[in-house]
Structure formats: C-alpha cells, structure tokens
Amino acid sequence: MQLPIYLDYNATTPCLPEVVEAMIPYFAQHFGNASSKNYLQGLVAEDAVECAREQVATLVNATPQEIIFTSSATEAINTAIKGYLNNFAEAHIITVATEHKAVLETCASLTDKGITITYLPVQENGMVALSAIKNAVRPITRLLVIMLANNETGVLQPIKEIYQLAQSLRIPLFTDATQAVGKIPVNAAETADLLCFSAHKMYGPKGVGALYINKKSAIHLHPLLHGGGHERNVRSGTLNVPAIVGFGVAAEYVQQCMYEEIERLLLVRNRLEQALATLPNVTINGQQAPRLPHVTNATFSALPTSNLVKLLSTKVAISSGSACSSVVNQPSHVLTAMGIDTLDALNSVRFSLGKYTTDSDIDSVIEEVKQAVTQLQSS
Ligand code: PLP
C-alpha cells in the first residue's frame, strides 16, 4: 500500500532511527527504576535520565535542574497553569484566543474555582498586541499564558517583548513552546518563567514532555500528581526511562542540524507557497507575521466546504487544523480569531513540513492539490 506523502509534522514526527536504537536497551536490558538508587540497575537508569535531562536542557539553553519530565506537553501545561494558580485564593489569567486547546481547556477548567480569564484577541496576522496585554492587566492578574509558535499557522508571538513586559509588570509568563522547540532556537531564560515542549514534535517518542521552570523566577508549583515526590516534587510517578532517553537523543539531533534544516525547509516551503499562489483564491494565513519555517496554512476560498483534506487524504497527509480538532469538522478557532470567516476557515489546510520532505514531494503534492481543487470547483 502506498502511504500518503506526510505533510503533518506539526501533528507528530517519526522517531529517528538513532532515537529508537538508543531507547531499546532501556526496556529490558537496563530496566531499572531511576529512583532505585541502592543498586546498579537503578543507578544505570538514573544516569540515563540525567544524561537526557542535560541534553534536553541544552536544547533550550537551560540547566538540567530547570527541567521536569512529564508525560506530554499537555501534562506540562496543566502542571504549570493549575500548579501555579493553586497558590492563590483569587486570580485572573490572561491568555490568547489562538492558544492550543490544551491551554484553553486547562484555563477554562479553572473558572469553576472562581478564577477569571481574559482571552486576548489577535491581529489579522495572528499576533497579539502588547497594548492588548497591558490593557487587560488587573491587580489580581497572576499569570500570562501566551504561546511561542502557533501550531496551525506557525505564527510566532513577540515572546521576548512579552516576557520583558511581564517582568516589568511582575506577572509570571508561561509559554507553550511545543511547536517551536527543536525547530527554531529557543533560549528559555530569555523567553519565559515557565515553558513546555514535547518529544514527539521533534523526532522523539510520544508520551514524554518537559516543563522548564526558570530558576530565577522562584515559582512554586503544586503538583497535579501526588506520590513518591519524583521530579523535585512537581511530578510524581516512575520515570519513563526509555522515552526520556529517546527525548535526549532527539534533542541533541535537532540542535545539531537546526540552522541547516531551517534554511532547507524555508526553500521547500517557498516552493510550496509559490505554487499555491498560482491557484485562484488561495491565501496564506499569517504570511505577514514572523512564522515557523516549515508551516503553511492556506485558505482555498470559494470551494465547496471543507472537502479538500478528505479528497486528498489517500495522497497527502495534511490536516485542517490541529490534530485534535481536525476530528471534529469545525472551523479552526485560530483562523476565526484572525478574522477569517467560518466558510474560509473550513476551507483551510495546514501543511507542515519536516526532515523527510523533499522538493519532489512538494511537486507531487502541488499536482494533487491542483487536481483536487479542479474537481471540487466542478462538483
Ligand atoms: N501545545 C501545542 C502548541 C501543540 O501543538 C500540542 C500538540 O499538538 C500540544 C500543546 C500538546 O502536546 P502533547 O501531544 O505532547 O500533549
């Protein structure tokens, strides 16, 4: 069976062969519990975890002590937001309408506890205005939650300026950097007080994420998971040693080839966008903003609603939004927040490129898209 050309690297990435190879010994041969420090099996596992912590920390220019391993970015997001807000009897959070559902739903769950939330709008280019943040601040604002790179459009928020503003306001900033880390350089200490990312978005395994806690910020997080006090009492639970080892190897790999890969992917993406621009009624969303180098979000206006992704699905693996929301045929909340109308949002497609994407893949994808558009226009 011929698999579709994979252009959904923002949903997940394949594990690198060297990642899989590094993980294998930690399933059976070195099976020890990383918390069992009285004997060699445990110590070998602990060493492997600490080596990976160093590799992961280095990727974001942090120290190993600032990295907490979790099961996913989603868990890191829940830990950061709920764990921090648990310090206050009364609180207000400022976030942005285009955040990932993992952030939006975590914030929404806190309204039951009397916490109020401001969802800032974005401009047409997908970026939040610093003035909007300033205007939303209240005396009880306890946390800013603003992502680094959007998963649907690749739009980058002006996070360094936002962090400077947050510091001047003395309000901690948590940034979801899941789509940015491993793709573009991220210096965590210059970016946020709390920051999360995930191995499976950067050629590592699924089921492991990281939460960075800036050592200068003196932030106390209440754990979501209580137990043996693993991960500095922030996240109890026996560590997933094979996955953590894989995360470390992936972190080292993406760091080594990041600049080369950015340059290559920009060229490949330009090829895609130039070809899309020759089709009638196609708009690239967020094109006016700084963006991740490997993401294109395109609206195909004037097509019968939302059949493009389905029609292409045997040939090209793409999505109409984030991996979780593409199951439900609803207009993307990210695109509607950027002022795109419902029909156009339903006719939008995310192409996300990666390590194995070639020029010839893009040429084939363009041919397939052209044929599908013609078919839909005549239906
Ligand atoms: N945040 C963003 C921006 C994402 O794109 C994703 C995954 O799609 C997540 C959070 C959740 O990551 P994980 O799958 O590790 O829970």
Residue 254: the pLDDT is: 98
Pairing state of beta strands 209-213 and 67-70? antiparallel
Of 207, 181, 176, residue with least CA distance to 101:
176
What is the predicted pLDDT for the residue at 321?
Answer: 67
Alpha carbons 241 and 65: distance in angstroms, whole number: 17
Task: Point out the ligand 1 atom lying closest to the alpha carbon of residue 150.
Answer: 3
pTM: predicted TM-score of the whole model, two decimal places: 0.97
Q: Predicted confidence band at 376 (pLDDT cuts at 50, 70, 90)?
A: confident
Phi, psi of 301 (to 5 degrees): -70, 160
Following CA atoms 26, 202, 16, 212 in sequence, which dihedral angle do they give, to the nearest 10 degrees? -20
Q: What is the rounded CA–CA span in Å between residue 173 and residue 195?
A: 8
Determine the distance separating the centroid of ligand 1 and the alpha carbon of 11, expressed in angstroms: 8
Tokens 């830990």: give the residue: 79
Picking from 72-86, 167-181, 324-338, which range would have the lowest pLDDT averaged per residue? 324-338
CA angle at residue 114 from 142 to 225, to 5 degrees? 75
Q: What is the structure's pLDDT at 330?
A: 86
In the predicted model, is pLDDT for residue 341 greater than 60? yes
Alpha carbon distance 365, 312 (integer Å): 9
DSSP state at residue 316: E
Least confidently predicted of 61-70, 151-160, 304-313, 352-361 = 304-313
Residue 145 has pLDDT above 60, yes or no: yes
Cβ-based neighbours of 58, under 8 Å, separated by 6 or more: 251, 252, 255
pLDDT digit string, tens, across residues 211-262: 999 999 989 999 999 999 999 999 999 999 999 999 999 999 999 999 999 9
The confidence score (pLDDT) of residue 185 equals 98
At residue 303, the pLDDT reads 81
Give counts: helices (H), strands (E), the chain: 11, 12
190 secondary structure, DSSP code: G
Examine the pLDDT at 379 and tell me if it is beyond 90.
Answer: no
CA 359 to centroid of ligand 1, rounded, Å = 27
pLDDT band at residue 306 using 50, 70 and 90 as cut-offs: low
Radius of gyration (Cα) for the chain, nearest Å? 21
How many angstroms separate the CA atoms of 276 and 230, rounded? 49
Report the pLDDT averaged over residues 146-173.
98
Q: What pLDDT does residue 294 have? A: 98
pLDDT value at residue 15: 98
User: What is the spatial distance between Cα 127 and Cα 108, in angstroms, rounded to a whole number?
Assistant: 22
Question: CB 229: neighbour CB atoms within 10 A?
Answer: 12
Residues with CB under 6 A from ligand 1: 72-74, 100, 102, 147, 151, 176, 178-179, 198, 209, 322-323
Average pLDDT, the chain: 95
Query: Buried b vs exposed e over 311-324: b needs ≥16 C-beta within 10 Å?
Result: bbeebbbbbbbbee
260: enclosing H helix or E strand: helix 241-277
Q: What is the rounded distance in angstroms from the CA atom of residue 72 to the CA atom of residue 198? A: 6
- For residue 74, how far is its CA from the centre of ligand 1 (angstroms)? 6
